[in-house]
Amino acid sequence: MRLLILGGTEFAGHAVAEAALARGWEVTVFHRGRHTAPDGVTELLGDRTDEGGLAALADPAAGWDVVVDTWSAAPAAVRDAARLLAGRAGRYVYVSSCSVYTWPRSAGYDEGTPVVDGSPDAVDVPYPHAKRGGELAVLDAFGEERSLLVRAGLILGPRENIGRLPWWLNRIARGGPVLAPGPRDLPVQFIDVRDLAEWILHAAQHGLSGPYNLASETRHTTIGELLEACVRATGSSAELRWTPAESVLAAGVESWTDLPIWVPQDELPELYAAVYGLDVARALGAGLRCRPARETVADTWAWLESIGGEAPQRPDRPVLGLSPEVEAKILGG
């Protein structure tokens, strides 16, 4: 298989590249040259947001079986790439998001749930509308039969550049009393970036099309199991102090941002359903397999240690995590 990845040097794109190389595929990555590409790929350089930035992809003799695009900003960039490649690629896989579904969402929402409005021509729109615009851009250029829309939920794993699991790992590695937001048995649903990558390649190779929700099953793990796995992986002497959700929120702590991954089900039911209420039956029926949460945690810590503990941070996303001063105040320290 000949694979073109638009991106391919960071988190999800890098995982797709490594998985494809392991399968013996021919992999080309088109990127801006800001990050090191995986060994073994062919590199094409360009900035798709610049005029003429897709020139490296314009060779009429070049062709690919599959294109994977992880773009998350203005959908006009997806539109231009998809139109350029429509006659020289067999299938276009767009890594979208479950954020495209309208709000509020009920637990168990599937691919038939209504989606937000979007436009392939949009330039400056909120994230859900940008992702929907990207989907429409792909459908317009490749048609329904040659388009695969991967509506991912929460993505964790090695090379994460958002700061969710890396923040928890680094915080727990420091040791001492740790504010652990309850309830401990709160179900958490996510997908390891490597499982996402493997499923994308499997789906592309088998000619799948249309939208698929991509995440683990709804009760894949709990917040308690996840944080306890962080303690084990880091070898820390940290003490997880489980604190009721209402007490954490009453202290002014923001779920999802101050305490990444955590969204209390009873106190914030709409947000919880949106983040952890995906129905993934379609993807499971199409070959999705998810590794244990403890493996995701351990491998993310191993990666963090290999780069000195400081995870990369996407410049277009806010820095996450609770300050030590706020945490100590809540814990009475």
Any idea which architecture 161-187+218-276+292-331 has in CATH? Alpha-Beta Complex (3.90)
Residues 6+ apart with CB under 8 A from 34: 9
| Region of residue 284 (phi > 0: left; psi between -120 and 50: alpha; otherwise: beta) | alpha
CA pair distance 97, 72, nearest whole angstrom: 9
Beta strands in 81-138 (DSSP E): 89-97
Beta strands in the chain (DSSP E): 2-6, 26-31, 42-45, 64-69, 89-97, 147-152, 155-156, 177-181, 187-188, 191-192, 210-214, 221-222, 239-243
**Beta-strand pair 2-6/26-31:** parallel
Which letter, b or e, does each residue of 29-45 get, where b requires 16 or more Cβ atoms within 10 Å of its Cβ? bbbeeeeebbeebebbe
Q: Which CATH class is domain 2-152?
A: alpha beta
The gap between the terminal CA atoms of the chain, to the nearest Å, is: 57
- The answer to whether the bond into 264 is cis (omega within 30° of 0) is no
Hey, where are the domains in the chain?
2-152, 161-187+218-276+292-331
Residues 6+ apart with CB under 8 A from 172: 178, 227, 230, 231, 234, 236, 238
Per-residue pLDDT of the chain (333 residues; tens, 9 = 90+): 999 999 999 999 999 999 999 999 999 999 999 999 999 999 999 999 999 999 999 999 999 999 999 999 999 999 999 999 999 999 999 999 999 999 999 999 999 999 999 999 998 899 999 999 999 999 999 999 999 999 999 999 999 999 999 999 999 999 999 999 999 999 999 999 999 999 999 999 999 999 999 999 998 999 999 999 999 999 999 999 999 999 999 999 999 999 999 999 999 999 999 999 999 999 999 999 999 999 999 999 999 999 998 888 888 889 999 999 999 999 985
CA 136 to chain centre: 20
CB 38 within 8 A of CB 5: no
CA pair distance 314, 20, nearest whole angstrom: 24
- Output the pLDDT for position 219: 87
- Determine whether 83 is exposed, middle or buried from the number of CB atoms within 10 Å of its CB (0-12, 13-18, 19+): middle
- Output the pLDDT for position 45: 97
Q: How many CB atoms lie within 10 A of CB 198?
A: 21
Count how many Cα atoms sit within 13 Å of the Cα of residue 132 in the half-sphere of its side chain.
16
Backbone φ and ψ of 179, nearest 5° = -65, 110
CB 153 within 8 A of CB 213: yes
Count how many Cα atoms sit within 13 Å of the Cα of residue 320 in the half-sphere of its side chain.
26
User: What is the C-alpha radius of gyration for the chain, rounded to an integer number of angstroms?
Assistant: 20
CA pair distance 16, 41, nearest whole angstrom: 12
